[in-house]
Amino acid sequence: MSSSVQLFKDQKYQELKGQCIEQRRLFEDPEFPASDESLFYTRAPPRRVEWKRPKELCEDPHLFVNGISSHDLHQGILGNCWFVAACSCLALQETLWQKVIPDFKEQEWDPKKPEKYAGIFHFRFWCFGEWTEVVVDDLLPTMDGKLIYCHSNVKNEFWSALLEKAYAKLAGSYEALDGGSAADAIVDFTGAVAESVDLIQGKYREIISEQIKLFEDLLKVHTRGGLISCSITASNGSANEMETEMGLVIGHAYSVTAIRKVRLGERLILSFKAEKLFMIRLRNPWGKREWNGAWSDNSEEWKKVSNSERKRLGLTVENDGEFWMTFEDWCKNFTDVDICRIVNTSYFSIHKTWEKKMMHGAWTKNSEPLLNRSGGCFDNRDTFLQNPQYIFDVKKTEDKVLVSLQQEDRRRYKKEGRGESIPIGFEIFKVEDNRSYRLHKLTVQERVATSMYINTRTVFLKRVLKQGRYVLIPTTYHPGIITKFILRLFTDVPSKLRELKADKPKMTCWSLLCGYPRRVTQIKIHSAEGLQKQDRSGGADPYVLIKCENQKVRSTVQQDTTSAVFDTQAIFYRKNIDSPIIVQVWNSNVLCDQFLGQALLAASPGDPREQQTLQLRGRGSREAAEVPGRITVKVFSSDDLVEL
C-alpha cells in the first residue's frame, strides 16, 4: 500500500485479514460493530435489524457480477439518494472506481479457495486532501432477510452495500448519511473539484447562448472523466420526494450518465451535414420512475433517430430509472447541477495540464488581533484581515484560475448536534507586485473576485486574472468560528501559492548591524501620459521602474503608446527614510532600453495621500530639467510597520 494512504482508525487490512485466516474466523469490526449504534444516533430502528453476511443472503455472493455498472445499485430506506447518485457516476469511470475499490480482484470471493475468505473488505476515500483507507466487515443490516440500505439489482452482488457501509463508518453511522450532497460524495470518491451551478439564477432556462455554453462545458467535463449530478430544489407548494407532472422527483439527486449531440434522421453517404440535438441522459437512484416528457423511453420522438444511432446511444425502453431528455428540457426542469471536474495535472496528456497547489489551513480564535485567524467575511471590516491570507502570482498576461475552498466534513459531529456545514467563502485582491507580508489595511488593493458565501462543504470559483500578485483570503461568514479547511488553486503556470504568516520584517542579529526598517511605503502607479515619441509611428513602448534602496519593481510593457495605464503597485520597508523613492519611465527596445524620465518621492507619512500627477524630470535631483511626460501616482507611508 502506498505510504501516502492514511489508515482510518489505524486498521491495517492485510494484517487483519491475515490474522483472521490464520485463526480461521471471519472478521468482526470492533470500530464499527454490528449493532444499533452503527445504524442510528437519534433513535432506535423501527423494527429489529439483523446483521447478516452475504453468504447468509445468497448461495454465490460476489463483489461484482458481470463487472460494475451505474445500473447495479438501488437506494434503500435511507435518505441518501445523493450517495447512490454519486456511486452511479463513479461506476462510469473504471480508473476512478478502482481507486475507491482497490485490489478488487483480490477482494472478490474465490469459490476454489473458501479458506482464504475472511469477511473483511477495504475501500479508499479522498478525505480532506488525503486518500484514507477504511476497513469493514461484511455484516450488513437486513430485515426479513433483505438488505435495507443500498443494494444491487442482482441479488448476489455486494460492492455497493459494502461501499456504503465503509462510507457510513467514515461518517460515524448510517443515519449520518441521511441527507447530503452528491458533489461531496463524488469529491470523496475522486478528489475532484466541485462546482455548484444554480440553473435558475444563471438564467439557463431563458438565455439560449448561456445554455449552449453550459452544454459545451458539461460535455467537456464528461468527456474528460468528470462526474455530474443534478436535482430539483423544492419550492413553494412542493415538497421533497413529490413527483412532478413530468415524472421527475423533487429534492432528489440524479446522476448524469451521458451527454451527447444526437444525430437526427438517417446518415447519408457523402452527407456531412445533419441536424443534431443536444441530449442528456440521467439515472434515478431508485432504479425506477422516469421522465415522461419528450424523448422519454417510448416517446414518438425516437422515430426521428436511426436504428444505428439508437444502438450507439444504448437506448433501452425498460423502467430502469435511466432516461434521455433534451438539454433544453433539462435546463427548464432541473434547478441545480453539481459539476465535479477531474482536473488534469499530468504532463503526459493531450489535454490541458493544470498546475496545482494545495494548502491545509484553519480558522482559529485569539484575543490578540495580530494572532486572530477568524475575522469573518468582508462585511466585518474591523476584523476581516485577521483571517488566514494566501499569496499567489499570475505569470501570464491573463490566466484562468480555479479556486476550491473546502471545509472539514462535519457529518461525524452530527451526534453532537453540530453536523451542519458552516457558511464559508473567499475574497481575492490584487496587491503589490513585491508584497511578502500580511495585509493590514486595504488602501490601493483592488478587490478582483468574490466567491459566493454558502453553507456547503466546498465553494468554487473560476476567474480570469491579469498578470500580477494576488492575496486570497478564505473566511467563515461570521467571525469567531473555529474549523479547518483546505485550499486548492489551479493555474496554467506555477502560482507559488503560499501562506502569508509574518506581519512585518523579522528582527534578527543582522538587523543590529545592517539596520531595521523604520517606515513602510506603499505606492501605486496609475498611468503616464504625454511621453516623448520614440518610433516612426509616433508611439513608444513604456514601462515603469520603481526603485527604493536596493529593491526594484518593474511593470509590464505597454505597447505603442505615449499615454499608458500601468496599475502597478509596490510596497517597501525602508531603513533609510531620507532616501527618496525613484519612479522611472523607460522605453522598451530590442537592444537597449531608453530612459524617458523620472520622479523622486520623499514618501513621508505627512505627504498627501490622494492621487497626484507629477512632471517627469531628467536624472539627478528634484530640480533636474523637465522632460516630456507626467506620471500619476498614489503614495501612502507610515512609521507603523503593520499599518499597511
Q: What is the pLDDT of residues 501-525, one digit of tens each?
A: 999 999 888 877 888 999 999 999 9
**74 is a catalytic site residue:** no
DSSP string, 305-323: B-HHHHHHHT---SSSSEE
Q: Which residues contact 334 (CB under 8 A, 6 or more apart)?
A: 199, 230, 231, 232, 248, 254
Q: 208: pLDDT confidence band, cut at 50, 70 and 90?
A: very high
What does CATH list as the number for 193-341?
A: 3.90.70.10
Q: Among 20, 80, 81, 127, which one carries the catalytic annotation?
A: 81
The DSSP element (H or E) to which 219 belongs, if any, is helix 208-223
Task: Please determine, for residue 348, whether its predicted confidence score (pLDDT) is greater than 80.
Answer: no
Judged by average pLDDT, the poorest of 17-31, 63-77, 201-215 is 63-77
Q: 200: pLDDT confidence band, cut at 50, 70 and 90?
A: very high
208: helix, strand or coil? helix
pLDDT tens-digit series, residues 42-77: 887 778 999 999 999 999 999 999 988 888 888 888
Task: Please determine, for residue 1, whether its predicted confidence score (pLDDT) is greater than 50.
Answer: no
For the sheet with 6-7, list strands across it: 6-7, 130-137, 120-127
The DSSP element (H or E) to which 170 belongs, if any, is helix 159-171
Task: Please determine, for residue 574, whether its predicted confidence score (pLDDT) is greater than 70.
Answer: yes
**156 is a catalytic site residue:** no
What are the CA-CA distances from residue 113 to residues 63, 104, 106 (Å)? 16, 16, 12
Instruction: Decide if domain 513-638 falls under CATH 2.60.40.150.
Output: yes
- Calpha distance 60→40 (Å, rounded): 30
Query: For residue 444, what pLDDT is reported?
Result: 84
Q: Among 284, 333, 387, 587, which one carries the catalytic annotation?
A: 284
Judged by average pLDDT, the poorest of 149-163, 166-180, 270-284 is 270-284
The DSSP element (H or E) to which 19 belongs, if any, is helix 13-23
Cβ–Cβ under 8 Å, residues 133 and 13: yes
Enumerate the domain spans of the chain.
6-190, 193-341, 355-500, 513-638
* pTM of the full structure: 0.90
Q: What is the mean pLDDT of residues 443-457?
A: 93
Q: What is the mean pLDDT of residues 81-107?
A: 93
Q: How many helices (H) and strands (E) does the chain have?
A: 12, 29
Judged by average pLDDT, the poorest of 140-154, 229-243, 389-403 is 229-243
What are the CA-CA distances from residue 143 to residues 61, 76, 153 (Å)? 18, 12, 17
Residues of the chain with pLDDT > 90, as a percent, come to 74
The radius of gyration computed from the CA coordinates of the chain, to the nearest angstrom, equals: 31
Query: For residue 268, what pLDDT is reported?
Result: 52
Q: Which segments of 471-526 does DSSP mark as H helices, in order?
A: 509-514
**DSSP state, residue 8:** G
Quote the cell numbers at residue 444: 490601493
- Calpha distance 288→254 (Å, rounded): 12
How many Cα atoms occupy the beta-carbon half-sphere of 583 within 13 Å? 30
**DSSP state, residue 248:** P
- Among left, alpha and beta (phi > 0; psi -120 to 50; other), residue 619 is beta
70: helix, strand or coil? coil
Q: Among 122, 151, 252, 440, which one carries the catalytic annotation?
A: 252
pLDDT tens-digit series, residues 230-255: 999 987 766 777 889 999 999 999 99
**DSSP state, residue 109:** -
**252 is a catalytic site residue:** yes
Cβ–Cβ under 8 Å, residues 384 and 377: yes
Strands 389-407, 612-617: pairing is: unpaired
Q: Give the highest mean pLDDT range of 73-77, 300-304, 413-417, 476-480.
A: 476-480
Task: Please determine, for residue 428, whether its predicted confidence score (pLDDT) is greater than 90.
Answer: yes
Q: Give the highest mean pLDDT range of 2-11, 70-79, 339-348, 518-527.
A: 518-527
- Calpha distance 477→484 (Å, rounded): 14
CATH number assigned to the domain with residue range 355-500, chosen from the 4 options 2.102.10.10, 3.40.47.10, 3.40.50.300, 2.60.120.380: 2.60.120.380
- Calpha distance 452→441 (Å, rounded): 23
How many Cα atoms occupy the beta-carbon half-sphere of 53 within 13 Å? 16
Judged by average pLDDT, the poorest of 4-13, 411-420, 630-639 is 411-420
CA-CA-CA-CA torsion sign (438, 439, 444, 448):
positive
